[in-house]
Structure formats: C-alpha cells, structure tokens
C-alpha cells in the first residue's frame, strides 16, 4: 500500500513511502557492476541460502561459519545506547538476529536494493519480528546527528568508494559510546584494479585504521581470518 510522500523538514524534498518502506533512492541511482547483481530479484531471493554461503566460503576459506561470525559481531556491539542500524542489510540475515537480540531499541535495515529490502521485509514479517527499513544509497546516512546506538555493516563497506565520507557519517550519527562494527576483506595491491572494475573496494587493516582515526573514531579492534576482517571502532 502506498502512502506519503514523506517530506524533509530541512529542504522540503519529498520521498515516497511504500509498504512501510521510505524510499530515498527512487530511480536515480547509478549502479556499479556488482550492485547491478544485488538489484536482481533472483539474487535477493537466493542470497541467504546459496549466494552468501558461497561468498563466505571463498572469503574465509571455510574457517569462520556464520554463527561464529555473528557471535563475534554481537560481542563487539556491546550494549548499544540507542537504535541499531544495519547498513547494507541485504535480505536481512544479520538484521533478524539483531532484532531478536536488541528488543529494547529500534532495529533499522538500510539498503539501496529494492529486491533485497523486499526479501528482508518479507522474512521479518514471516518470523513475526520487529524491524524498520529505509531505502537509501549510503553515504550520506539518513539519520540525525548523535541519534544511533550502533551501526553494523556486514559485507557492505567494500561496496563504497568514499570510505572517509562513510566513516564521517558514521561518526556524525553515532551517540557517544556508540559503536561501528563491520566486516570486509583485504586484497593484494595487484588485484585491486580487478576488484575496482567490478565495483568493489577491499582495504587493508591499516587503511581502515587510518580512515577511522581521520573520522575521529577510537578503540579500533579487529578479528582477522585473512583475507576476511571483522572490526569495531567507537565514537568517543
């Protein structure tokens, strides 16, 4: 069911709201090659069962299963002092676990792929869980300053070219003490152009640490199952 549109109080721009999903993207997004795949309904429908496990196996070479990955993520998030946002939530695998674990704060999934969001919303409804959804191309992040308790980004930041802009947005939107927990992967310098050609931006641990410092984020911690990296920083 369509209703709205929602209107920005700052600039008066209007955004459609459809089936409980606020849409900041519309049809304007220019898509990089791999993102085009994320927009295919069959990829969204088979993401959790087939595509994601295959990607996980390649990245961790079978040394980290999803349950262990989530346990580490969960511990790194700690006790969020406000809403939890899952950036690039995809079909909602991590989001649904977050909504089960953090029942006292809102849990919000953000993605730019409509088919991924539709799949995530259907799964949440089917499991009678609670989560809100926003369609946005990040950065920027469509949230107020110091409004979030945690930002989670699983398999997301390597889709974003502008890492500094993203981390400044994370720092802007987190409350003091709020944490950013993300997974990504490294690639050798030689292979970077190949990844970039597909629209992926793998980064070394050093590049992540330096970008976090530039954004004013502190307390970098990481778990490395090379080339897979699971890391956390927080807003002081």
Ligand X SMILES: C[S@@+](CC[C@H](N)C(=O)[O-])C[C@H]1O[C@@H](n2cnc3c(N)ncnc32)[C@H](O)[C@@H]1O
Shortest Cβ 112–ligand X spacing (Å): 4
The two tokens of residue 111 are 């993605």
Shortest Cβ 220–ligand X spacing (Å): 21
* 154 touching ligand X, by CB under 6 A: yes
Nearer to ligand X, 115 or 178 (CB): 115
Residue with tokens 């196996």: 57
Map the footprint of ligand X across residues 100-129, applying CB under 6 A: 111-113, 116
Shortest Cβ 109–ligand X spacing (Å): 9
* 138 touching ligand X, by CB under 6 A: yes
Q: Which of 90, 149, 178, 202 binds ligand X (CB under 6 A)?
A: 90
Q: Which residue of this chain has its Cβ atom nearest to ligand X in the complex? A: 90
The answer to whether 145 and 172 have CB atoms below 8 angstroms apart is yes
Q: Which of 60, 76, 77, 88 binds ligand X (CB under 6 A)?
A: 88
Residue partners of 140: CB distance under 8 A and separation at least 6: 165, 169
- The residues with which 132 forms a beta bridge, in sequence order, are 108
DSSP 19-86: TTEEES-TT-PPPPHHHHHHT-HHHHHHIIIIIHHHHHHHHHTTSS-HHHHHHHHHHHH-S-SS-EEE
Distance in angstroms (rounded) separating the CA atoms of residues 176 and 170: 11
Binding track, positions 17-56, relative to ligand X; x by CB under 6 A: ------------------x--x-------------x----
Shortest Cβ 236–ligand X spacing (Å): 26
Stretch that binds ligand X, among 1-9, 100-108, 150-158, 218-226 (CB under 6 A): 150-158
| C-alpha closest to that of 112 among 104, 122, 120, 100 | 120
Distance in angstroms (rounded) separating the CA atoms of residues 140 and 201: 18
Stretch that binds ligand X, among 71-79, 88-96, 99-107, 200-208 (CB under 6 A): 88-96
* 137 touching ligand X, by CB under 6 A: yes
**Residue 189 gets which letter from DSSP?**
G
- The residues with which 3 forms a beta bridge, in sequence order, are 17
Q: Which of 94, 150, 163, 170 binds ligand X (CB under 6 A)?
A: 94
The two tokens of residue 234 are 């927080």
* 84 touching ligand X, by CB under 6 A: no
User: Using CB under 6 A as the criterion, which residues of the chain lie in contact with ligand X when the complex forms?
Assistant: 35, 38, 52, 88-90, 93-94, 111-113, 116, 137-138, 154-156, 159-160
């Amino acid at each position: 069911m369509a209703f709205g549109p929602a209107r920005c109080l700052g600039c008066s721009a209007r955004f459609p709201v459809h089936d409980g999903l606020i849409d900041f993207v519309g049809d304007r997004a220019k898509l990089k090659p791999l993102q085009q795949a994320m927009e295919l309904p069959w990829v969204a429908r088979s993401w959790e069962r087939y595509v994601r496990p295959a990607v996980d196996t390649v990245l961790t070479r079978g040394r980290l299963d999803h349950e262990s990955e989530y346990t580490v993520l969960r511990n790194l998030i700690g006790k969020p002092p406000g809403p939890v946002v899952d950036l690039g939530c995809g079909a909602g695998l991590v989001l649904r676990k977050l909504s089960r674990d953090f029942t006292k704060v809102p849990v919000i999934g953000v993605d730019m792929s409509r088919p991924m969001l539709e799949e995530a919303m259907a799964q949440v409804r089917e499991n009678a869980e609670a989560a809100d959804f926003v369609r946005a191309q990040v950065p920027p992040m469509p949230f107020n300053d110091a409004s979030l308790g945690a930002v989670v980004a699983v398999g997301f930041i390597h889709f974003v070219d502008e890492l500094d802009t993203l981390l400044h947005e994370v720092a802007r939107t987190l409350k003091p003490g709020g944490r950013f927990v993300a997974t990504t992967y490294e690639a050798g310098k030689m292979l970077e152009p190949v990844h970039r050609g597909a629209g992926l931006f793998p980064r070394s641990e050093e590049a992540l640490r330096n970008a976090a410092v530039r954004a004013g984020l502190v307390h970098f911690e990481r778990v490395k199952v090379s080339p897979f990296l699971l890391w956390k920083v927080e807003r002081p």
